[in-house]
Structure 1
Amino acid sequence: MGDITSLREAIADLVYDGATVALEGFTHLIPVAAGHEIIRQGRRDLTLVRMTPDIVYDQMIGAECARKLVFSWAGNPGVGSLHRFRDAVQNGWPRPLEIEEHSHAGMANRYVAGASGLPFAVLRGYVGTDLVEQTATIKPITCPFTGEVLTAVPALNPDVGIVHAQRADRAGNVQMWGITGVHKEVVLASRRSLVTVEEIVDELDPRPGAVILPGWAITYVAEVPGGAHPSYAMGYSERDNDYYQAWDAISRDRSAFTEWLSSHIGITA
C-alpha cells in the first residue's frame, strides 16, 4: 500500500460517481489540486465531507460535482461567504445541494469513531443548540453509568479520504507537520485514501511534532508540488491571501465562475 502514482491516475482509480469523498485540511495542507483533478475528471453526485469547506469545495459544488455536503463551518476564510455553495442551496444552480450540518467537535468525533472501527461517537457538544432538530444524524443518548443525556453521532467512513502533506518516502510513508487537523483520522477512517505531497524523498528525517502516516494505511501517494495552493504547506509555501480575496468576486457571478472553470481547470461547464 502507499503506492506512488500520479494525481490523475489516483483520482481516476479512487473517485467514482456517487462516492462519499473527504478532502480534509484546516487552514494548512488543503488538497486543492486533488479537488481540481476531480473537477477535471467530471465526477458527479458526490457526497462531499469536510469540517471546514472553503473555496475548493465552492469550486467543486459550482462545477456540479456534488449532490450533498456534510460539514460544520463553511466560508471563504478571512473574506466571507462561499457564493457557489449559496447559489446551489438557495437557487439549485448548477444543481440542488443537500446539506447535513454538524459542529466541529461532532465532525472530528465522527472521524475518530470511523478510524477506531466504532459505529458512533458520543459527546456533549450539541447541548443548547438547535442542530439536534435540524440534523437527522444527531441523536440523544443516555449514559448507562450516570444517566446523563449526551449526544451520539454516527461514524464517518468515507469511500475516499484525501489530504495533503509535506513529504513521503519511496515506500509510501508520509510525514507532515504544522496544523495537521484531522489528517490522520480521515485517512484511517476512509475505505481508500490518497495523500498528495510536496516532494518524495529517499528518507524522512526527524521533525519536532511531525505526524507519520505509515504506507500500509494509505492507498496512493502522489507527488504534487504546490498541491495545497492557495492554502500553505509549512516549510514549503505561504498562504496566497490575494487568491482568497480574488475568489470572492469570481464566485459571486455565474459567468465569471464558468470562465474560471475554462481558463484555470480547462473544462467547459
Structure 2
Amino acid sequence: MAEILSLREAVERFVHDGDTVALEGFTHLIPTAAAHELIRQNKKDLHLVRMTPDLVYDLLIGAGCARKLTFSWGGNPGVGSLHRLRDAVEKGWPHPLQIEEHSHAAMANAYVAGASGLPFAVLRGYQGSDLVNVNPRIRFIQCPFTGEQLAAVPSVRPDVTVVHAQKADRKGNVLIQGILGVQKEAALAAKRCIVTVEELVDDLQAPMNACVLPTWAISAVCVVPRGAHPSYAHGYYERDNRFYQAWDPIARDRETFIAWIDEYIRGTEDFAQYQAKLNGETQQ
C-alpha cells in the first residue's frame, strides 16, 4: 500500500545503490524530479532501464550514478545526441557504461513479461536486425505449435520503478492521463514503485478507461508540482522546448555539465528550490 512521503524520503527508503531502476514516461510525464533526487543522494552503481532515455538519463549517467543502461533509442528529442551518454560509452567518463540496446517493441514486451512474472518475452521482430549482432541477450526460439522462429528477450523486473502522474488520492491510487508509454507495466513489474504527482486530491474523478495505478502496486506517492519539467504534464503545463535546446551546450562539455548540476541540483534542497533558482536565472 502506498505511503504519502516526500520525494527525498521515498528515494532514501526505496532506492539502494546497485538497484535496477526504471524511470518511465513517454513524451510527457517524464520523472525529472526523481532523477534530480537520485543525484542529490549520490546513488551509485545503478542499472538504469528506460524506453527512449533522454535528459533524465543523460543527467544520471553524467553524474556518475550508472553502471549499465538497458534501453531502446536514446537522444535529446528534437535536438540531437545525449552527450553524457556518448561520453560514458565512448570514453568511459565519468565511469564506463555497459549498454544493452533493444527495439521499442522488445522493451514494451519485456516490461509486460516482467509484470506477468515471466522470465522472458516473445515477439515477432529482429529478423535481419543488426541489434542481434551487438546484443547477445536477443535470442531466437521455435514456436512449439507452428514451428515459426520468434525472438525472445529477458523480462524487465526492476527493483524500483519511478513514474510521474497528474494526481493521486489520499489512499495512494494514481491517475495517469494523456499519452501512455509503459508506466503501468513498469510499475507492475517492479518490486517497489515511487510515483511523483502534480497534486493530491480527495477524488480522482477518473474518466472511463483511464489508467489508474492502484495503491497496492505503489510504495510511495510524492507530491512534486511540475515534477516532469522540462517535459509536459497533460492538462497541467506545456513542454519547455527552450530547455531541451539549452541542454545541448550544457551537456556537451564535461566541466560545464558538472558546474550546472553542482549549482542547480546538488546545490538545491529539492525540486521546488531548483525550479525557483532556474526561473530566477531565466528572468534576469
Match of 2:225 in 1: 225
Q: Deviations over 1:167-215 (max 9, x none)?
A: 0000000001101210100000001000100000011113354211110
CA distance in 2, matches of 1:114, 1:136: 19
Q: Determine if the alignment matches structure 1 residue 149 to structure 2 residue 154.
A: no
* Displacement of 1:62: 0.3
CA distance in 2, matches of 1:105, 1:125: 8
Match of 1:65 in 2: 65
Unaligned runs of 5+ in 2: 269-284
Match of 1:85 in 2: 85
Q: Determine if the alignment matches structure 1 residue 4 to structure 2 residue 7.
A: no
1:29-178 equivalent positions in 2, closer than 5 A: 29-178=29-178
The change in CA–CA distance for 1:42 and 1:267 in structure 2 (over 3 A counts) is farther
Name the SS for the 1:136 alignment partner. Answer: coil
Name the SS for the 1:226 alignment partner. Answer: coil
Q: Deviations over 1:81-132 (max 9, x none)?
A: 0000000111111111110000000000000000011111111121110212
Q: Determine if the alignment matches structure 1 residue 180 to structure 2 residue 177.
A: no
Name the SS for the 1:198 alignment partner. Answer: strand
Match of 2:239 in 1: 239
Letter in 1 for 2:203: E
Which aligned runs of 4 or more in structure 1 are off by greater than 4 angstroms?
Answer: none
Letter in 2 for 1:112: V
Q: Percent identity?
A: 66
Name the SS for the 2:199 alignment partner. Answer: strand
Contact 2:175 2:206 in 1 (8 A): no
* Displacement of 1:133: 2.1
Match of 2:278 in 1: none
Unaligned runs of 5+ in 1: none
57-66 or 132-141: which moved more? 132-141
Name the SS for the 1:76 alignment partner. Answer: coil
CA RMSD of aligned residues (A): 1.1
CA distance in 1, matches of 2:97, 2:54: 16
Letter in 1 for 2:104: H
* Displacement of 1:267: 5.1
Name the SS for the 1:255 alignment partner. Answer: helix
Contact 1:19 1:160 in 2 (8 A): yes
The change in CA–CA distance for 1:242 and 1:209 in structure 2 (over 3 A counts) is farther
1:175-214 equivalent positions in 2, closer than 5 A: 175-207=175-207, 209-214=209-214
Contact 2:39 2:266 in 1 (8 A): no
Q: Deviations over 1:19-48 (max 9, x none)?
A: 100000111100000000000000111000
TM-score, L = length of structure 1:
0.98
Name the SS for the 1:197 alignment partner. Answer: strand
Match of 2:272 in 1: none
Letter in 2 for 1:26: F
Contact 1:177 1:209 in 2 (8 A): no
TM-score, L = length of structure 2:
0.93
CA distance in 1, matches of 2:194, 2:219: 6
Letter in 1 for 2:263: S
CA distance in 1, matches of 2:61, 2:206: 39
Q: Deviations over 1:196-252 (max 9, x none)?
A: 000000111133542111101111111110100000100111000000000000000
Letter in 2 for 1:25: G
Contact 2:172 2:221 in 1 (8 A): yes
